[in-house]
Amino acid sequence: MKVWTVVNQKGGVGKTTTAISLAGSLSAMAYKVLLIDLDPHASLTHYLGFDSEKLTLSAYDLFVASQHPHMLTKLIHEAVQKTSIDGIDLLPAHMALATLDRALPEQSGRGLIVKKIVACLQSKDTEQKLNHHYDYIVIDCQPVLGILMVNAMVAATTIVLPTQTEHLGLHGLNKMLRTIEQMKSSLSPDLVSVIVPTLFDRRVNACISAYAKMRETYKEQLWRGYIPVDTKFRDASAQGLPINRVAPNAKGSFAYEKLAGELLKHG
């Protein structure tokens, strides 16, 4: 089971779009995907048509229950939602996630909770209970460096860094790369981080120069493609579906398909 964590300390750079679009590409290749929404704003949960305030269980409950491992399997089973998309399930978010920093006791191991949840999902017992095996977990994060982001990064086998192709975007990216460097000892030793240029508009000079700067600055970590601005993303989100289910021939669909292929090469 591989874990792709989508993070950036900046908002509006295409994180949620990247999470749902990658899940769409993976499921089109017949992989089973679990999306985990770790943003208290629950954008991804709402995107997929769920009202997070009306759900009885969410990722929050798993965080709180992580101190009682025997309950975890049962709670995962109850909290995970089937979506309308074949091959994609969702562990939804709830506003209460914003209170975790205070709700969880100060202890070592606070950063290992998502890792524990992933281990639990991989156990035979849970797979039997869910009658299900996931090939990929894709985690969407809020743009805040706190317990949620730390957990999502510690559990990751790949960190995906959507970065808007504009100069302010590069500033945010540097901050994020410093964070990854500082956390290095807690992260997976074979972790791969991939910078993904997003919202690229080839008619806009600022995009072109920011993209050129990215290619010059971030050599091997940078994905050589880019995600273009595409109005089809709006149509996809209005329908609560990944872009490849709404507009399979859109340039945005092709771009995420290519990105998914590139990330798959890393394992």
End-to-end CA distance of the chain: 10
CA distances from 155 to 6, 136, 188, 242 (A): 12, 12, 8, 24
3-state secondary structure of 4: strand
Residue 242 binding: pick among ligand ADP, Mg ion, none (C-beta 5-8 Å cut-off by kind): none
Q: Rule CB under 5 A: which of 5-44 touch Mg ion?
A: 15-16, 43
Q: Establish if 40 lies at the interface with ligand ADP (CB under 6 A).
A: no
Residue 240 binding: pick among Mg ion, ligand ADP, none (C-beta 5-8 Å cut-off by kind): none
Residue 141 binding: pick among ligand ADP, Mg ion, none (C-beta 5-8 Å cut-off by kind): none
DSSP conformation letters of 192-204: EEEEEEESB-TT-
Residue 91 binding: pick among ligand ADP, Mg ion, none (C-beta 5-8 Å cut-off by kind): none
Of 12 and 248, nearer to ligand ADP (C-beta) is 12
Contact 253/265 with Cβ under 8 angstroms? Answer: no
Q: Residue holding tokens 């969702």?
A: 90
Kindly tell me which residue out of 7, 13, 137, 161 binds ligand ADP, with binding defined by CB under 6 A. 13
Size, binding site for ligand ADP by CB under 6 A:
17
Q: Rule CB under 6 A: which of 214-253 touch ligand ADP?
A: 227, 229-230, 233-234, 237, 252
Alpha carbons within 13 A on the beta-carbon side of 154: 21
Cα dihedral across residues 172, 174, 177, 183: positive or negative: negative
Minimum separation from the CB atom of position 228 to ligand ADP (A): 6
